[in-house]
Chains A and B, each alone.
Chain A
Amino acid sequence: DAGITQSPRHKVTETGTPVTLRCHQTENHRYMYWYRQDPGHGLRLIHYSYGVKDTDKGEVSDGYSVSRSKTEDFLLTLESATSSQTSVYFCAISEGGANTGELFFGEGSRLTVL
């Protein structure tokens, strides 16, 4: 299994509270991604990173920010959580390039915003 650890795995918080989810990898992969998964919508890309301090927005980036100060860590922050951000969040990594592009996923972080 790819060395990807997400924390926390479960979190319940209140509307308006800041939340940070952490993704840690031991694979030294260049690319890291944050997806959210909701019933009926599948996996939707929030933000991704193609290197330290290099990040870009995905399909559903509003209300989220990310940071990557080290190769191994990719943080997802909800500055002021809303109930619509209740979801399961998955971190993924890939080596990148044209050869495979396959993603390795973490186990997910279930966030409930009350």
Chain B
Amino acid sequence: SQKIEQNSEALNIQEGKTATLTCNYTNYSPAYLQWYRQDPGRGPVFLLLIRENEKEKRKERLKVTFDTTLKQSLFHITASQPADSATYLCALRGSARQLTFGSGTQLTVLP
């Protein structure tokens, strides 16, 4: 069966360090992978999309890698700040119209 796993339910890091979140998937051949941020009581907000033919994508302090051989995406936040504390979700588009989400990693950046 298809599965998306975000390896850590919760991750605590010190301010200024780089946070690295993992998204692994099985039985998908995704055309692209997305990352979202969700704050408590709010809907998810889109951050980045990376296509299957791209190895890396950057946006300000965010970097995403996509390894279709390992079936894994890594999401990095450099120079992390307490304001980066949130739940981060990865999502895959398997079929043409559906986006499937992982259960998320709750990141806490400690001052």
Contacts and interface: CB of A to CB of B under 8 A. Distances in A.
Interface of A: 31, 33, 35, 40-45, 48, 50, 56, 58-59, 90, 92, 96, 98, 100-108
B44 A58 contact: no
Interface of B: 31-32, 34, 36, 41-46, 49, 89, 91, 93, 97-104
Nearest to B9: A40
A50 B104 contact: no
Contact of B42 (A101, A102, A107): A107
Contacts of A56: 97
Given A90-B43, A106-B43, A107-B43, A43 B31 contact: no
A59 B98 CA distance: 10
A90 B89 CA distance: 14
Say whether chain B's binding surface is mostly helix, strand, loop, or mixed: strand
A103 B102 contact: no
Contacts of A48: 97-98
Contacts, number: 52
A41 B102 CA distance: 8
A49 to B, nearest CB: 9
10 contacts: A40-B103, A42-B104, A48-B97, A56-B97, A90-B44, A92-B43, A102-B49, A103-B44, A106-B43, A108-B42
B101 A42 contact: yes
B44 A43 contact: yes
B46 A45 contact: no
Nearest to B43: A105
B70 to A, nearest CB: 21
Contact of B97 (A31, A40, A104): A31
B99 A101 contact: yes
A75 to B, nearest CB: 18
A59 B99 CA distance: 11
